[in-house]
Structure 1
Amino acid sequence: MTANCPVRPLAMAVVVLLGVCASAQAADKAPSDKELIASALRAAPPGVAKDATVVVADAQGKMRTLREGKNGFTCMPDNPTTPGPDPMCMDKNALEWASAWMAHKPPPAGKIGLMYMLEGGTDASNTDPYATQPTASNHWIKTGAHVMVVGADASFYDTYPKSADPDTSAPYVMWAGTPYQHLMAPIK
């Protein structure tokens, strides 16, 4: 993958926020590309996964394409260093949204994106888009299998709960009141 690939900023965001990219492991324990692809494809429904691009990042965030896709979705495998399964698959607009988040820039207007995390989720702050670990004030939560809607107008999010300590078994807004608020919709 070239250095100017649009997925690269997303990878950095995912490393910091969700820990979705595969971490460097001891050489004798590193998963094979086939295993990484299988993990990544479990993030989305089969109809999406079958034609998605699959990428993986090393510990420094350098991206490597494991499989080229043709449907505009990009999937990343589980990060074995985080609790629970957390592979992720997202459309082009979600890639742009995540890139804006990572750059601390406003998300693109009028571009609603979709992310799948059907294998589960990771622990994250529900209030701080840049938190990397729990604190007494950042409302750390555990997410399960879900989809995320990003980039919608604020009025869309106003129709869902925005509690700092949400019921994660029902749809809720994560990072409410920030430019990066998004809908978390549980699947299971």
Structure 2
Amino acid sequence: MRTPLILSVSLLLLAGAGAAAAQEDDAKLIKSAESAAPQALSSQAAIYAMNDKGEMRTLREGTNGWWCMPDSPATPGPDPMCGDANSMEWAMAWISKKEPPKGKVGFMYMLEGGTDASNTDPYATAPAEGNNWIKTGPHVMVVNGMDVMAGYPDKADPDTSQPYVMWPGTPYAHLMIPVK
């Protein structure tokens, strides 16, 4: 009779430990996500985490219309980001390889930087011949604003210390503006 009780108590303890670990992991993800934008904005933003299948999980509901996502463990360095509602529509179009919404310019923060990415291939996951791998420090982005990008450099190998167009010639072209 004591064995089932001991087993039940052990399972409850394990479940409690798992829940505590998940809360601690979520707290780390929220802290990472909040680092992408000014605290006054990120502390009130919805926080989402994406799994390796591109599915979103809400870590915290927001109150100001902005969203943030933590650093992606699939990338070599920190890349948390925050944005407005229009930028989320743009980002979801990019992630799902669909056309971005028309007429919806968005704004995003990446104050931790975007450590490594191809400047020409929106889906590159590692440096390769011709995909122009770059490093970008802390920056903000204007997405889905083709008119805003007129006159900014759109070379494959930009000077990332100055404003430039990332992913030029693709539907996901956006203006990168360094902030430090």
TM-score normalised to structure 1 length: 0.78
Verify: 1:77 aligned to 2:70, yes or no: yes
For residue 177 of structure 1, give the secondary structure of its aligned residue in structure 2. Answer: coil
Verify: 1:170 aligned to 2:162, yes or no: yes
1:48 to 18, 41, 49: 41
What is the match of residue 7 of structure 1?
none
2: CA distance between counterparts of 1:132 and 1:165? 17
Q: Is the 8 A contact 2:118 2:127 kept in 1?
A: yes
What is the match of residue 100 of structure 1?
93
1:160 to 139, 142, 152: 152
What is the match of residue 150 of structure 1?
143
For residue 112 of structure 2, give the secondary structure of its aligned residue in structure 1. Answer: coil
Tell me which stretches of 4 or more aligned residues in structure 1 moved more than 6 Å: none
For residue 94 of structure 1, give the secondary structure of its aligned residue in structure 2. Answer: helix
1: CA distance between counterparts of 2:84 and 2:103? 14
For residue 141 of structure 1, give the secondary structure of its aligned residue in structure 2. Answer: strand
Structure 1 residues 31, 83: CA separation in 2 closer, same or farther (over 3 Å shift)?
farther
Cα deviation, 1:80-103, whole Å, max 9, x if unaligned, reads 453222111111101111222233
Cα deviation, 1:126-176, whole Å, max 9, x if unaligned, reads 011222221111111111111110011x33212211111000001000011
Unpaired runs of 5+ in structure 2? Answer: 1-20
1: CA distance between counterparts of 2:69 and 2:115? 14
What is the match of residue 181 of structure 1?
173
Letter in 2 for 1:157: M
Q: Is the 8 A contact 2:54 2:95 kept in 1?
A: no
**C-alpha RMSD of the superposition:** 2.0
- Identity between Structure 1 and Structure 2 (%): 61
TM-score normalised to structure 2 length: 0.81
Q: Flag the structure with higher helix content.
A: 2
1: CA distance between counterparts of 2:105 and 2:86? 6
Task: Give the C-alpha shift of residue 31 in structure 1.
Answer: 5.7
Highest Rg: 1 or 2?
A: 2
Q: Larger relative CO (CA 8 A, sep 6+): 1 or 2?
A: 1
Task: Give the C-alpha shift of residue 124 in structure 1.
Answer: 0.8
Letter in 2 for 1:67: R
Work out the number of aligned pairs and report it.
Answer: 160
2: CA distance between counterparts of 1:104 and 1:57? 16
Verify: 1:110 aligned to 2:94, yes or no: no
Verify: 1:89 aligned to 2:89, yes or no: no
Unpaired runs of 5+ in structure 1? Answer: 1-27
1: CA distance between counterparts of 2:92 and 2:162? 27
